[in-house]
Structure 1
Amino acid sequence: MTAMKKGAAAIPAAEVQAALELILASSVFVNAPRMRRLLRFLGEKAIFGAAQDASEYFIGIEVFDRDPSAYSAGKDPVVRVQVGRLREKLKTYYATLGAGSDIEILIPTGSYRPVIQRKSVVEIDSTQCGMLALHPFKCISHHQDAVHFTQGLNEELMHQLFKAFGKIIVTHSFFISGDADHESWILKDISNAGVKHLLEGSIQIDEERLRASIRLVDVSAGCIDWTEQFDRRVFFAISHQEELASSICRALKRFFCHQ
């Protein structure tokens, strides 16, 4: 598979495919079969390096089942209308569920070729957020795979937070006594140690999706400064731990950037 590029930075095709699947599984698209079919067609053409085949005529035949012997792109506006709707749905997705996504898949006006790019990295001053402590996320499902996924996500998130924020990250062992996995921990007075925020959350699953519910707590005030939910399709691979942790970090950066 090929890699998507923005400037000199290549995006592995596997990451693009994962991002595409997340969009298609989201509530924005799950009940829109025509939009799902159109986005999958355009996205996979781009992933496999065949975006040049996505002409209006070809899309009309392959996606909207037009008769090749009778179809005229000039007379039948189905592709133009549906691609316009797709652009709006993608805007909605990235303004809501996909706000923390690492990769954007966009359809520029006047084109049927997707632009696939990483979102711009938000730079923040570490003094804006102070010391940030991560409390291990809890799995509130009895599904054993979900428990293991949550444990792996905690490790991946600590790694990603350190990469994103540096030495302001405090490990949970610094402020938790007892067995955190069995909730017999005692929260120490971490505000006196310079910790300003505590990041906590939970993982739950049903038959169709996995949801990470995240909260950022102001330690001194005890109030919630920020909260977000990240919905993903049910899949327990390491690559999904990496993608979810990256999305959480980017959403945190955006929050602190606007403080």
Structure 2
Amino acid sequence: MDESVSAHGAEPPTSEIFESLQTLLANDSLRLSERNRRFLSFVVTQTIEGRSERIKAYSIGVDVFGRDDSFDPTVDPIVRIEATRLRSALTAYYEGAGAGDRIRIAMPRGGYVPSFAWAPDVADSVVAAKAATADEVNAAPAATVVIHDHSGHADPEAELRGELFTDALLVLLRKARFKTLVVPPAERAAASGSIQALFEKPGESYLLDIAVRPLAERRRYSWRFSDLRNGEVLASDFRDYFARAVAGFELIDELAQDAARSITAVLAVR
């Protein structure tokens, strides 16, 4: 999705917020422990994915800080303490090394749901740029890419990795100016019907099939890009990665970047 999540003024799209988060987490100038980097990633990701109601002291204590189900935030103050450190670190970063960043990520006091805003000197130029390019964008609609995740839903780990792969592809394809759709679960009948109609009368539309499948101690990540109008496979690839305790964000992002570059290159010569 690419909706805005800021409440006022020129609002950063979620794709740019996500990119800003990744840059921020990789910056050594942000004085945070790895645990608090996970804290920041958790609250930002939950918010831009529309699940800010999950951002509570209890869920942070359990999901981020590894407390067990008996965790009581009124007794154990770890979330409040670490939130204070996180706020201070973000303020120091944007006053120093991050002064030139386009987007500001903050955690207002009194809660843990983050806020997002353009840097003051960027907001006006963003509004002007959007106005200047609106006619061009409307006059030349991009091709549509439908992402269909075939990862085994019986395997929760493969399902999670498939979702991460899809999220990474969405950000990159939208940046490349494609209109993107994701095949929804069967229970979302209205959305499923809309995509089925697209399959029947595709126009300039393409299907990106992806999958993450377990292979003993490895996981196979694969993708196949085809023309919906005639079924022609235009590009495909796969990678086998050894399973690890963590989801392997860097490997997933790298594969998504390679897939997006291949898709853009293939369509540029058609």
| TM-score when normalising by structure 2 | 0.43
Greater C-alpha Rg: 1
Relative contact order, higher structure (CA 8 A, sep 6+): 1
